[in-house]
Structure 1
Amino acid sequence: MSRLVVKVGSSSLTTPDGHIDPDRIGTVVDAVARARSAGDEVVLVSSGAIAAGLGPLGLRTRPRDLATQQAAASVGQGALVEFYGRRFAQHGLRVGQVLLTLDDVTRRSHYRNAHQTFAKLLELGVVPIVNENDTVATSEIRFGDNDRLAALVSHLVHADELVLLSDVDALYTGHPDLPASRRIEIVGGDEDLAEVDVSRVGSAVGTGGMVTKVEAARIATAAGIPVVLTSAALAGEALRHESVGTRFVPTGKRRPTRLLWLAHASETKGRLTLDDGAVRAITERKASLLAAGVAAVDGTFTAGDPVDLVRLDGTVVARGLVNFDARELPTMVGRSSHELVELLGPEYEREVVHRDDLVVL
């Protein structure tokens, strides 16, 4: 039995004018249902909420302003899940909607709950339908978000493979319609991408392009998860583990989920400027960040928020989850742990950023 995460984009689920295409959804659903019958567990990361809302709202193209995007997502998400529910029911399968924001996995108290939710849904035989919570998201609605989301969810659920379904059958060195473009079957590292031009943008209803698929593959493979990139039309073959599309082989090992999110998906709330000694401590000795090594504090954040850790020249060297509010830190800057205890009390003796909540970039 394998645990698969399957990501399908807006352009693979909708008609050009923004309406849900039942036949396209049916192709994906049938492939997932066959994989389930073969004993595999499947988590489906599905774009399409905003796109599915365009038709009902009378919008011809994807709106540019955030408020209209969120309105379209609000209308479209329900329609999208309704379609999935009906089609999976024909195979005797139930679906469960999971809407995520970055906080759900970057914050320690949230990501454990997200992991447990997925585990229970799969245990109960439910097919989780995952999307970013576009209705309430702010900066999260941005270029390629669900490709990255799929890569990070694959790590969260301990997937054995990530399948990215697009509108092209594989990765090519250029646009597939160009005679000079060459199909790439295996990617073992960045050196295999040297000739690849991924500058083609997405469709009128999607947000991404091939560049976001490649970045998602980098994230997943760096965490030890193989990736298959192919078209939605070949979903059945891909989920039967046939040789289709482009295969990205793992390049790294798994690490704590929240650190993967922290490195690749978090929107930082501020920045801490470090002296040279603190930079060496966190990058070379893998130490925690103490108040004595902080030279300056910028931004508005609360304990548990992600912040950038930067050199004196402003270069970002790491990212971490801070243990204090922005209003508390200025009085702590440059002080030793002993001084903090005497000045503010024993509760201020802890690290500003613990090494377990820190990732060097």
Structure 2
Amino acid sequence: MTAPTTPRIAIIGAGPGGLTCARILQRHGATVTVYDLDADRTSRNQGGTLDMQPGSGQVALRAAGLMDEFAKHSRPEGQQMRLLGRDAAVRFDALPSEAAKGEGNPEIDRGQLRDLLLDSLAPGTVHWGHRLTHAEPLGDGAHRLHFAHGATAETGLVIGADGAWSRVRRLLSAAQPGYTGVTFVEAGLNDAGTRHPALAALTGDGTMMALDDNHGLIAQRNSDQHIRIYIGMRTHEDWHRRAGVDLADTDTMRAHLLERFTGWNEQLLGLITATDTGYINRPLYALPVPHTWSHAPGVTILGDAAHLMSPFSGMGANLAMLDAADLAHAINGTPTVDGAVRTYEEIMLPRSVEAARGAAEGLDSAFAPDSAQQALAHMSENH
């Protein structure tokens, strides 16, 4: 067992929110340590692409002093939004204007964003291979952190940026994520422009959605000619067990998914059949709305730990990073840690409740009997 350490601030989770908070705190001279369960920075694929929004993600990146680095990796063309019918006919196609490319929501891969943030931190800030088991209150806001491999650390403030199944959240709330009723099955196309040119053209430069009658096919451009695909279904959480489908059996998965999308255009079905990456089952979970808690000394949470919501909010990582910036600014500008956390929570909680309600409504409209009509009306109104 290693000897306890006493960092002033401990952040649990090295995702966009946790790393953004650490970066801004360090810029203002605060002592901060980040603990993450991953073995190292390369041990896990970080997922798809993110649009960094001017009023949230970009605000946080500016506070972190990283907008110039972000611009080197971002893809303004990724703002294209395309809606197709199940017949593959284009219902809506919004290309970003030159002005929007400079001022809108440019895309960046999650992995690139994480690397950008990690590289901005002081060496040794992130302690890899630290899976938090529980945080033990010691009184007066102090906590002892217990990790799975036996190490402990003591801290004056623990910040939970540890995602959907947050251990830190347990200090504040008994709430647990619940199944939303919608599951995504992830697939992917590698070297799409060369190996899958028709599907690449169908997708465009940004995000393509085909939604109809509680089903959807969503294709999302990533860097390096990769297209990430989400095969969406309103279904039971254990749909595969009910159908007798082995999630590890690619052929059986393909056949079952094709059966669920009977009647869809053959070209769209290519997004199911042509996968180079197999199939990954991803049921969508969300925290109850509203999710709030009473203030407790020495602990707070941000991002998915505080307000896990469906990806149809478009706000997940953006909101986590804005949370991080608001919390870091409060810590840097408030005489006491307790006062800083109160200030942060007074800002964050109402905002997150509103966003979570919008996310739930967005998911319900995207996976509904008349989802195609609802999606068209929404896109036409907002572009």
TM-score by length of 2: 0.23
Higher strand share: 2
TM-score by length of 1: 0.24
Between the two structures, name the one with larger relative contact order (CA 8 Å, sep ≥ 6): 2
